[in-house]
């Protein structure tokens, strides 16, 4: 099993609240501190005061105001990675290990390559006479049906990325989407037609055009992220009634609170 270690030692605390989207209030060593919450989504179902939490600490010479970053939360006994910047690093480690079907035999791997209409692809793999464009998407929302759903809120940017990948395929290149699932309890991945119908339709259409989809599953721990392998990606349309009930059950444990105001983003 491949372990991708954390870059900094994690400190355990207790999660209290999420403020103004990007701030997590944590009890650390008996003291309340503010940590950077690197997540633009609703973090549906994860906003539970009293949960175990782990943060990393920025180096002493860093000018950053917030000295901690929220990395992991434990929800119902499952440890979940909530830093939405990390998936690119995790995906790159797996790509460089050459374990993924269709993504093994490349000569060069380049991150953050410009393409399309003012976009940058997460990775470009190149061979002697071919190119393979790879987009990475973070996923940490899992429902009782075992599905990991992306996104957990509308993401026009993600839909635009799919459109760009389709254009690459039509031009003769290859293209893939890699969902990085930062929890061990998911059984499959689905584009969320409830949270973002446009993205779900774009994913269905992109697969028909030849864009490939894979999901990489990780088990986060205090030492690092253990790579568990791939799980299926289901881009076919599906009934929304049950999914809607799941989301409604998460309403009080999602989003964030604006200081002095009511909850937002759920």
Which pLDDT value is given to residue 262? 56
Q: Does the structure show a pLDDT above 70 at 261?
A: no
Which pLDDT value is given to residue 119? 78
Which pLDDT value is given to residue 142? 98
From residue 226, give the alpha-carbon distance in Å to each of 57, 214, 252. 21, 17, 31
From residue 97, give the alpha-carbon distance in Å to each of 2, 81, 124, 148. 9, 21, 15, 24
Q: Does the structure show a pLDDT above 70 at 78?
A: yes
Which pLDDT value is given to residue 215? 98
- Which residues are registered as beta bridge partners of 10? 56
Per-residue pLDDT of 158-196, as tens digits, reads 999 999 999 999 999 999 999 999 999 999 999 999 999
Does the bond joining 151 to the residue before it have cis omega, within 30 degrees of 0?
A: yes
Q: Are 72 and 15 in contact (CB under 8 A)?
A: no
Which pLDDT value is given to residue 265? 60
Per-residue pLDDT of 202-259, as tens digits, reads 999 999 999 999 999 999 999 999 999 999 999 999 999 999 999 999 999 999 998 8
Which pLDDT value is given to residue 263? 58
Q: What is the dihedral of CA 6, 93, 145, 102, to 10 degrees?
A: 180
Which pLDDT value is given to residue 39? 95
d(CA 99, CA 31): 43
Per-residue pLDDT of 35-76, as tens digits, reads 999 999 999 999 999 999 999 999 888 888 999 999 999 999
Number of Cβ within 10 Å of residue 188's Cβ equals 16
Which pLDDT value is given to residue 26? 98
Residue 52, exposed/middle/buried by CB under 10 A (0-12, 13-18, 19+)?
Answer: middle
What tokens appear for 108 in the block?
A: 């060069």
């Amino acid at each position: 099993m491949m372990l991708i270690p954390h870059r900094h030692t994690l400190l355990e605390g207790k999660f209290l609240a999420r403020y103004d989207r990007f701030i997590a209030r944590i009890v650390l060593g008996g003291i309340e501190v503010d940590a950077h919450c690197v997540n633009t989504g609703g973090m549906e179902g994860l906003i539970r005061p009293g949960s175990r939490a782990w943060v990393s600490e920025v180096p002493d010479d860093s000018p950053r105001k917030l000295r901690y970053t929220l990395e992991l939360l434990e929800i119902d006994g499952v440890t979940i990675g909530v830093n939405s910047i990390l998936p690119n690093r995790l995906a790159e480690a797996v790509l460089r290990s050459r374990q993924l079907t269709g993504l093994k035999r490349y000569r060069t791997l380049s991150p953050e390559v410009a393409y399309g209409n003012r976009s940058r692809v997460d990775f470009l793999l190149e061979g002697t006479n071919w190119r393979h464009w790879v987009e990475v998407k973070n996923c940490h929302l899992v429902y009782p049906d075992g599905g990991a759903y992306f996104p957990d809120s509308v993401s026009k940017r993600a839909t635009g990325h799919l459109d760009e990948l389709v254009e690459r395929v039509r031009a003769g290149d290859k293209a893939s989407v890699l969902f990085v699932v930062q929890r061990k309890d998911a059984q499959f991945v689905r584009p969320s037609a409830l949270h973002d119908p446009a993205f779900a339709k774009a994913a269905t259409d992109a697969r028909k055009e030849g864009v490939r989809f894979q999901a990489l599953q990780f088990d986060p721990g205090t030492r690092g992220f253990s790579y568990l392998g791939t799980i299926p990606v289901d881009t076919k349309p599906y009934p929304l009634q049950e999914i809607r009930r799941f989301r409604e059950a998460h309403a009080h444990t999602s989003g964030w609170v604006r200081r002095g105001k009511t909850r937002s983003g759920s």
